[in-house]
Structure 1
Amino acid sequence: MLEAMRTARGLSIVVMIVTYAVLVHHVNTSGQSSMLGAILALLPMFLLVITFSLKTTSRLVGISSLLIFCIVSWFAWSLVRQHTGLIFWMLDITLMSGLLVTFGWTLQRDQKPLCVHFAEMINGGELPAEHERYAHKVTVAWVVFFAMMIIASTVLFFMAPLATWSFFVNFLTLPLVALMFVVEFIVRRRVLTDLPTSHILDAVRAYLNNSARTQ
């Protein structure tokens, strides 16, 4: 029963992401400003503010943050409605930049590369030296991947029709991320022949279990 609920929740999230992407692409290809476009442009920021408001220990801070967001959105509504494409691009760049920084920050000399950390959670302890070196390279590969996605998105947004950029961001980003996982999995199996059988879901479960223990 619990597994069925998790599956249903996962499918619901996928449906919401796909629906959002389809609606955003529809707005971008219409070539006209609309209330739907403005709502979609503000929705991710609204969800972030709601999440922050619910998680903050201060109810006053949470309510104030939500109130400030609503006031700013009200006064900026016409501007948002006229420039939804630019806002969608900024949201995409912000997401990719956040991922790039998250992975890149861990490549500093005094930090543990993020993919090494995930591999250790799956392995249940420290990795052999060869595995650790490989996981370090995978972290670098993800940094390069996110940098390339930022460059591609920016070039397409300013140099190509908005519909072309929108198709790339809304319908190719996730498949490219999935392809990155598949390619890495194939390379890993060829480079590290003594690995136990595992897949990306093991990393997700390990991360969730680790987060639950630290809370």
Structure 2
Amino acid sequence: MILSWRTLRKVLIAAASAAYVVLGFVAAISDDPPLIALIVGVVPMFAIALATAWNSRARVPLVLLCLALGVAFVLNLEFMRTHVAWLYFVQHAGTMLSLGIMFGATLGSDESALCSRIACFALNSRPDEKYLHYTWKVTLAWTIFFFVSALLSVLLFFFAPLVAWSTFAILLTPILLGIMFVGEYLIRCRAIPDRPHFGIAETIQAYNNFSRR
């Protein structure tokens, strides 16, 4: 049976994600990690930063900055390889903190909350007040999740064995994110059962479309 391109793409993404997690965990707890672990840890982060810079209003200076950092990274490969745990720590804690700030900064009102705006975009209409208040609370829940994750990342990295931090940041974080998505969906179905609902994949797609507009 020949796999469709969509199925094959999902398989490849799943395989790449698994490889990233395994290599990241091994690299973070190793005193002499393989070079491939360092490359796998940096390339996705660099690609995201470069894409963000390219789509920003200050495209030229930000792209030049990304390229300069890329050159500096290549010129200091050996140093970075022996400090790869710090790379993964900055990536994890920085991402969690940035997301916490991004979600938290929108909590001024029900309608301005990030999850409310994404819901409006996904539904292509403005939900009623009850729905908007619920999505405000979802935004608050995600804000707390990201800030707590960032705090735990810092505490575990500096005050616990490295394997404990690596287990939390690299192995458990994807699982916890999945639990948050599934848990929110189940709660939404019970809290506002008579409203339109969309699944995890649709939520992620709506966020991607919202962020690119």
Same fold by TM-score, threshold 0.5 exceeded? yes
Instruction: Kindly provide the CA deviation profile for residues 104-129 of structure 1, in whole angstroms up to 9, marking residues without a partner as x.
Output: 12223597111111222333311111
Runs of 4+ in 1 over 6 A off after TM superposition: 56-63
Tell me, what secondary structure is at the counterpart of 2:95? helix
Instruction: Mark the CA change 1:39 to 1:13 in structure 2 (over 3 Å): closer, same or farther.
Output: same
Tell me, what secondary structure is at the counterpart of 2:11? helix
Cα distance, 1:71 vs structure 2: 2.9
Instruction: Output the CA distance in 1 between the equivalents of 2:19 and 2:117.
Output: 33
Kindly provide the amino acid, as one letter, of the partner of residue 22 in structure 1.
V
Gaps of 5+ in 2: none
Instruction: Output the CA distance in 1 between the equivalents of 2:117 and 2:211.
Output: 13
**Which residue of the partner structure matches residue 156 of structure 1?**
156
**Which residue of the partner structure matches residue 181 of structure 1?**
181
Gaps of 5+ in 1: none
Deviates more, 1:178-187 or 1:40-49: 40-49
Cα distance, 1:185 vs structure 2: 1.7
Aligned-pair identity (%): 28
Instruction: Kindly provide the CA deviation profile for residues 129-155 of structure 1, in whole angstroms up to 9, marking residues without a partner as x.
Output: 111111101100000011111111111
Cα distance, 1:54 vs structure 2: 6.3
Kindly provide the amino acid, as one letter, of the partner of residue 48 in structure 1.
I
Instruction: Output the CA distance in 2 between the equivalents of 1:58 and 1:131.
Output: 36
Contact 2:109 2:136 in 1 (8 A): no
Contact 1:24 1:37 in 2 (8 A): yes
Instruction: Mark the CA change 1:95 to 1:210 in structure 2 (over 3 Å): closer, same or farther.
Output: closer
**Which residue of the partner structure matches residue 29 of structure 1?**
29
Cα distance, 1:47 vs structure 2: 2.1
Q: Does 1:126 align with 2:126?
A: yes
Contact 1:49 1:69 in 2 (8 A): no
Instruction: Output the CA distance in 1 between the equivalents of 2:190 and 2:49.
Output: 44
**Which residue of the partner structure matches residue 86 of structure 2?**
86
What is the RMSD computed on CA atoms of the aligned residues? 3.1
Instruction: Output the CA distance in 1 between the equivalents of 2:78 and 2:57.
Output: 34
Cα distance, 1:57 vs structure 2: 9.5
Deviates more, 1:110-119 or 1:87-96: 110-119
Cα distance, 1:80 vs structure 2: 1.4
**Which residue of the partner structure matches residue 69 of structure 2?**
69
Instruction: Mark the CA change 1:5 to 1:112 in structure 2 (over 3 Å): closer, same or farther.
Output: farther
Kindly provide the amino acid, as one letter, of the partner of residue 94 in structure 1.
G
Tell me, what secondary structure is at the counterpart of 2:125? coil
Tell me, what secondary structure is at the counterpart of 1:91? helix
Deviates more, 1:142-151 or 1:102-111: 102-111
Kindly provide the amino acid, as one letter, of the partner of residue 200 in structure 1.
I
Cα distance, 1:41 vs structure 2: 4.2
Instruction: Mark the CA change 1:131 to 1:58 in structure 2 (over 3 Å): closer, same or farther.
Output: closer
Cα distance, 1:164 vs structure 2: 1.8
Cα distance, 1:21 vs structure 2: 1.2
Instruction: Output the CA distance in 1 between the equivalents of 2:122 and 2:67.
Output: 42
Instruction: Output the CA distance in 2 between the equivalents of 1:208 and 1:147.
Output: 22
Kindly provide the amino acid, as one letter, of the partner of residue 158 in structure 1.
F
Kindly provide the amino acid, as one letter, of the partner of residue 178 in structure 2.
A
Cα distance, 1:194 vs structure 2: 1.2
Contact 1:49 1:65 in 2 (8 A): no
**Counterparts of 1:9-28 in structure 2 under 5 Å?**
9-28=9-28
Deviates more, 1:203-212 or 1:53-62: 53-62
